[in-house]
């Protein structure tokens, strides 16, 4: 079981990034969430099978058509997110 926290930068809002990420995460059987941040980035918390989480991270590197990801920071979630109980994958 793997859990990651990611921040995508670039043209990632207003291009279907959250919906695409949620679709991909659900397809991979992951739990977690995706949300826009006020600074124009998109934040993702994902948990599940190691290989599936890695596949989602690969998807996040480019996002959906229309997105232009200029940077993706991926790391272990901070303690405040590590204890969060995840059910399904939601768009926040």
Q: Which residues pair with 9 in a beta bridge?
A: 71
* DSSP letter, residue 31: E
Q: What is the DSSP string of 41-77?
A: -EEEEEEE-HHHHHHHHHHHTT-STT-EEEEEEEEPP
Compute the distance between CA of residue 8 and CA of residue 31 in angstroms, rounded to an integer. 18
Structure tokens at 26: 């659900």
Known catalytic residues are 18, 36
């Amino acid at each position: 079981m793997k859990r990651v926290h990611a921040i995508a930068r670039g043209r990632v809002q207003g291009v279907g990034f959250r919906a695409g990420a949620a679709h991909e995460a659900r397809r991979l059987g992951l739990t977690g969430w995706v949300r826009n941040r006020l600074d124009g980035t998109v934040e993702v918390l994902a948990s599940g099978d190691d290989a599936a989480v890695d596949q989602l991270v690969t998807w996040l590197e480019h996002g959906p058509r229309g997105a232009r990801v200029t940077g993706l920071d991926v790391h272990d979630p901070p303690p405040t997110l590590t204890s969060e109980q995840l059910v399904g994958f939601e768009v926040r």
